[in-house]
Amino acid sequence: MSEKILLPGEYVGPGEVYAEGATTYAAGDEIFAAAVGHADESSGTVKTRISKPSLKEGDIVYGTVIMVMDSFAIVVIYPERKEGVLPAAPPEGKIPVRNMSQGFTRMVRDAFRIGDIIRARVVTIEGEKAELTTRDPELGVIKAFCSVCRKPLENKGGRGMLSCPDGHRETRKTATDYRKYGNIPI
């Protein structure tokens, strides 16, 4: 069994071996990680360690977009790795369309798509749900995957105009340090 740590959005395996669940999502017949963890063939899922984040207003969080609706996006939040413990069992965050960018966001899917890894700030907490914002320049998508071929998108032209190695083009509300996680290229 592989202990390679998967980031959200990374390929886990075929749908015959893995199933859609709290830590995974399906795209066609393929299963992708929706949380930080490792692929576990015996359970057919991505296993994470349980360490519930206790979020508060103003916290910067990372997460994966799992749902894109007309007026909001839903994100599974994972806290930064602390003292070697992997984040897991994350609560959900909601980004209303008005919180997505400083300009007008016409279509939510022009800002976020399923599988995107984002950095956001907590605006309010209600129970297990957090309202998030990505309006500031340093907030937004830090890694996105082509919705056609699932390859990571590059931000060659800047300003959120992304393209994949196969030439597909998509837009996102990118963070200023797109494809970096601190100093680490992702």
7-15, 24-32, 51-59, 139-147 -> range binding Zn ion (CB under 5 A)? 139-147
5-13, 75-83, 112-120, 159-167 -> range binding Zn ion (CB under 5 A)? 159-167
Asked if 130 is part of the footprint of Zn ion (rule: CB under 5 A), the reply reads no
Task: Build a one-symbol-per-residue string for 89-128: x at contacts with Zn ion by CB under 5 A, - elsewhere.
Answer: ----------------------------------------
Which of 166, 182, 183, 184 is the binder for Zn ion (CB under 5 A)?
A: 166
Q: Which lies closer to Zn ion via its Cβ, residue 75 or residue 164?
A: 164
Asked if 169 is part of the footprint of Zn ion (rule: CB under 5 A), the reply reads no
User: Measured from the CB of residue 168, what is the shortest distance to Zn ion in angstroms?
Assistant: 3
Asked if 148 is part of the footprint of Zn ion (rule: CB under 5 A), the reply reads yes
Pair of tokens at residue 146: 């082509």
Residues at the site binding Zn ion, with contacts judged by CB under 5 A: 146, 148-149, 164, 166, 168
